[in-house]
Amino acid sequence: MRKKAWCLFVLLMVGFLGISTHLWAITAKRAQMADVGGATRTLTVATVRGTIYDRKMIPLTNKSNEYRAAILPNEELISLVKGAMTTTNYLSLLERLEKGEPAIARLTKPIPLAQGMRLFLTPLRYGDKAIAPHVLGYLDNSSQQGVTGVEAAFDEVLASYSGRATVSFSVNGNGGYLQTAPLEITNTLDNKTGGVALTLDSELQMIAEECAEHVDKGAILLLNGDTGSVLACASFPSFHPLSVEESIRQNEGALVNRALRLYDCGSVFKIVTAAAALEYGVSPLQEYCCDGGMTVGNTSFHCHDRLGHQTMDMSSAFAQSCNLYFIQLAQQVGETALLNMAYRLGLGEEIELIEGMHATAGVLPSEQELKTPAALANFSFGQGKLLLSPLHIARLTAIVANGGYLPPLQLFKGYVNEKGELTAAAGDERGERVLSESTVHTLQNMMRSVVEEGTGQNASVEGVAVAGKTGTAQTGQYNGGIAVIQSWFTGYFILNDENYIITVLAEDCETTHKSATKAACELINKLIEKEKEQTD
């Protein structure tokens, strides 16, 4: 009996020893696997998508860079990055590292390489100072898809050139990170080279945005009058694509692109009335005596000079913006010819720059409505049932500047491949003629007289022949008991063989004390300074 018991005991001990040996072998193998990094966890350092370029292939997005370091949670690395970080970013980094996970350190300068970290130079989509946000648009934070502007219109193209940088860290069997294990790196951030090019000029855009001093709310447009290319499109107030919600809280209408919005346009419309009269056969030398007021039907109209301008021809009336002269001019021409001219000059049609970015067709009265004498009188100097966008007014000005052709406006220049090579988009070289040469010649002289001796003298710049038209549009609205009035200037000038069209709208100028004419003058002077710097 004892012998059997002893044999059983020996067998049990042998079996236990075998199981223990097997378990030890498994444990040792797991430990060995953990020591060499049996598993990894991946951290995304940065993502990027295709670049938006200006007309000179200068990046409008991805134009600046930032150093980022992917680091493991240890005291040596934390100490290394601290001196190259802002206080805010450093405190945010500590919060993530305290959880025992690797994190991304956003650096202000490069740092020496060390074990357990990797350094990357990563592109910033917009940078601290975003340029042309109303044109470029912004991205959805979660999906990184375009929501507005060029980002939305060319979302698929820009997304096709996406890239990312990642770091994979080895993890042991207990979930801890191996400090000495090699790091696996992927980096396709260079894919961002491909994308799209616009007709915008980044230097001109920045100059336009610098003129915000004279335009609290409104827009500044700069076009090439011959090609219809949009060179600058600034809207105020502005916003930053990375802080859209905050921008809206500060200014409710910050996301509105005011260059495309419809407004009361006032006396800039006198370009249309003058064109209609000249094409109708009215002589520019025809005179009228303005005594300060007139009655049309049952409605009284007053000139801004209540004492009257006295005897004026079309050019002097245009320069001094005499409403009464243009009322009687419209009466001669008639509602049909005047309305047809407005449509002929493209004011009744939508202007689409790219998909999803367009200026709605201008609001024009019907021919039947204009049969009422007072309605025709208001229409003649840009009041009544009439709304136009700055983009419409800019194109109207281009017709005069380029010799009478309706230019097809352009914002998209072409596609850019992964090598940075541009494939230009096909475009019309020139639109159809809508004004005769003689009419254009007369209008050009009249617009020069506005700046030289008329209401637009504040836009006069020494050494540059500026032509233009001012407008002060009544809206019928009030802000704090003060009438809401829109200030306009639209004109053109030639600098280094480029035919520039400039249109400025300053909203609510009576309350804000802002001036479209002063903004135009500053922009032209800044352009001249830029040209001098480049030639010196």
Residue 444's pLDDT is 98
Q: Which residue has the tokens 């720059």?
A: 353
Query: How far, in whole angstroms, is CA 403 from its chain's centroid?
Result: 29
What percent helix, strand, coil does the chain show, rounded to 5?
40, 25, 35
Tell me the sheet residues that pair with 423: 415
Q: Where are the alpha helices (DSSP H) in 475-515?
A: 509-512
Domains within the chain, CATH numbers bracketed: 40-60+103-198 (3.90.1310), 202-535 (3.40.710.10)
Q: How confident is the model at residue 512 (pLDDT cuts 50, 70, 90)?
A: low
My answer on whether omega of the bond before 407 falls inside 30° of 0, hence cis, is: no
Instruction: Give me the helix-helix angle, 437-453 and 270-280, nearest 10°.
Output: 140
Answer whether residue 78 shows pLDDT above 50. Answer: yes
Average pLDDT, the chain: 89
CA dist 484 → 391, 472, 475, 509 (Å) = 21, 10, 6, 7
CB 70 within 8 A of CB 120: yes
Answer whether residue 86 shows pLDDT above 50. Answer: yes
Burial of 369 (0-12, 13-18, 19+ CB in 10 A): middle
When mean pLDDT is compared across 44-58, 237-251, 330-344, 345-359, the lowest value belongs to 237-251
Counting DSSP H helices and E strands in the chain, the numbers are: 17, 21
CB 195 within 8 A of CB 52: yes
- CA nearest to 224, candidates 245, 199, 205: 199
- Spatial neighbors of 284 by CB under 8 A, at least 6 apart, are 278, 313, 314, 315, 442, 446
- Distance from C-alpha of 226 to C-alpha of 147, rounded to nearest angstrom: 32
Q: What is the mean pLDDT of residues 479-489?
A: 88
Instruction: Write the pLDDT tens digit of every residue in 169-214.
Output: 888 877 677 888 888 999 999 999 999 999 999 999 999 999 988 8
Answer whether residue 27 shows pLDDT above 60. Answer: no
Instruction: Write the pLDDT tens digit of every residue in 263-309.
Output: 999 999 999 999 999 999 999 999 999 998 999 988 999 888 878 88
Instruction: Write the pLDDT tens digit of every residue in 209-220.
Output: 999 888 989 999
* Structure token pair of residue 408: 């097809």
CB 104 within 8 A of CB 43: yes
Answer whether residue 10 shows pLDDT above 80. Answer: no
Provide the Cα torsion 79, 85, 91, 92; round to 10°.
-120
- CA nearest to 401, candidates 503, 321, 323, 317: 503
Identify which of 6-15, 16-25, 180-189 has the greatest average pLDDT: 180-189
